[in-house]
Amino acid sequence: MEHSHGHNHTHEVQGKNFLITILLNLLITLAQVVGGIFSGSLALLSDALHNFSDVITLIVAWWANKLSGRKNSDVKTFGYRRAEILATLFNASSLVGIGIYLIFESIERVQHPQPIASNIVIYLAILGIVFNALSMFLIKEDSYDNMNVKAVYLHLFTDVMTSVAVLVGGVAMMLYELFWIDSLITIFIAVYIIKSAYSLVYDSVSVLMQFTPKEIELSEVEKIILACESIKNIHHVHIWKLSDKEIMLEAHLDFKEDLALSQSTKIVETLQEELHTHFGITHATFQNEFEREDNKDLVKQECCHV
């Protein structure tokens, strides 16, 4: 059995920037909770709730990133590499839950409208825009190649957008006393949150369920393998992501000839390089076979018995 040894190491995010971002979001949350209570604005309270979810998100993301960097052991041969995927699922799912909650609260508020102190809404919306934009800047670099940090970055981006909506609503309430717009903005925030979080929920679940990465076509992988003159057939293929950056492959290879181990090793090494180049597969494990009578389906249909 041959396998590649090139693993991508877990990218460790900048802890100092995370700490500053956590503190900024705590300040925003406290200010908006107090302001929302005194102003009577549901939109401001919903923005505070969203910001508080960011505090939890940042703490979980920081912890997961540290955890995923721990060394493998005899009982944890893959280490904690999926800690960040679990954190991503938790964070994105919490956003969906918050969005649904806000929609129900907004509907209730439409039925029972209340006057709102718009000046407080305006000031705190501006504070939210500035602090969240600064937080985005602090973790922007880490968000490019880390799904977990990308989820946090998305949280912060939605916070900026929602704070802008709250600001516009505050101005409208101040100038025209359109207090119903507070509930309308809250619904807009909720829908935007749910839509933004859905793709991250799907991506993280796909990794945990070991689905074939959406950027890889299994037929193309088969084509690359069968282009090798020594390979007769490839079957029992599994392709999945171990973490955000590590793509794994395992498969059985039928050789046309009974080759020496040294010859088959060279062929497998060449295939591993091609798979890494074409598909970014970081770890390929092959079971080499010759004239073995077994199921030759590309994807073997497993039967589960209860």
Instruction: Give the pLDDT confidence of 276-301 residue by residue, as tens digits.
Output: 999 999 999 999 999 998 889 999 87
- Block residue for tokens 């199921």: 295
Out of 23-32, 106-115, 163-172, 207-216, which region has the weakest mean confidence (pLDDT)?
A: 106-115
Query: What residues pair up with 251 in beta bridges, in sequence order?
Result: 286
Q: Could you give phi then psi for residue 109, rounded to 5 degrees?
A: -70, -35
Mean pLDDT of 46-69: 73
Half-sphere exposure of 286 (CA within 13 A, CB side): 23
Q: Is it the case that residue 12 has pLDDT exceeding 60?
A: no
Mean pLDDT of 26-55: 83
Q: How far apart are CA 201 and CA 95, in angstroms?
A: 10
Q: Which tokens sit at 142?
A: 């880490």
Query: What residues pair up with 285 in beta bridges, in sequence order?
Result: 3, 250
The one-letter amino acid code at 82 reads: R
Q: Which tokens sit at 272?
A: 């591993």
Nearest CA-CA partner of 193 in 56, 47, 55:
47
pLDDT band of residue 229 (cuts 50, 70, 90) is: very high
Q: How far apart are CA 62 and CA 38, in angstroms?
A: 33
Q: What pLDDT is stored for residue 65 in this prediction?
A: 66
What is the distance between the terminal CA atoms of the chain, rounded to a whole angstrom?
A: 31
Query: What residues pair up with 253 in beta bridges, in sequence order?
Result: 234, 288
> Where is pLDDT greater, at 251 or 40?
251
Q: What pLDDT is stored for residue 268 in this prediction?
A: 96
pLDDT averaged over every residue in the chain: 83
Q: Which run of H or of E encompasses 232?
A: strand 231-241
Mean pLDDT of 60-81: 74
Instruction: Give the pLDDT confidence of 107-162 residue by residue, as tens digits.
Output: 887 777 777 888 999 999 999 999 989 988 888 887 776 766 777 788 788 788 87
Q: How far apart are CA 140 and CA 167, in angstroms?
A: 24
> Where is pLDDT greater, at 81 or 126?
126
pLDDT band of residue 241 (cuts 50, 70, 90) is: very high
State pTM to two decimals: 0.70
Q: How far apart are CA 268 and CA 249, in angstroms?
A: 13
DSSP 117-177: -HHHHHHHHHHHHHHHHHHHHHHHHHHTT-HHHHHHHHHHHHHHHHHHHHHHHHHHHHHH-
Q: Is it the case that residue 203 has pLDDT exceeding 50?
A: yes
The one-letter amino acid code at 294 reads: D
Nearest CA-CA partner of 222 in 209, 206, 235, 210:
235
Domain annotation for the chain: domains and CATH numbers: 2-208 (1.20.1510.10), 218-289 (3.30.70.1350)
pLDDT band of residue 21 (cuts 50, 70, 90) is: confident
Q: What pLDDT is stored for residue 148 in this prediction?
A: 66
Q: Is it the case that residue 2 has pLDDT exceeding 60?
A: no
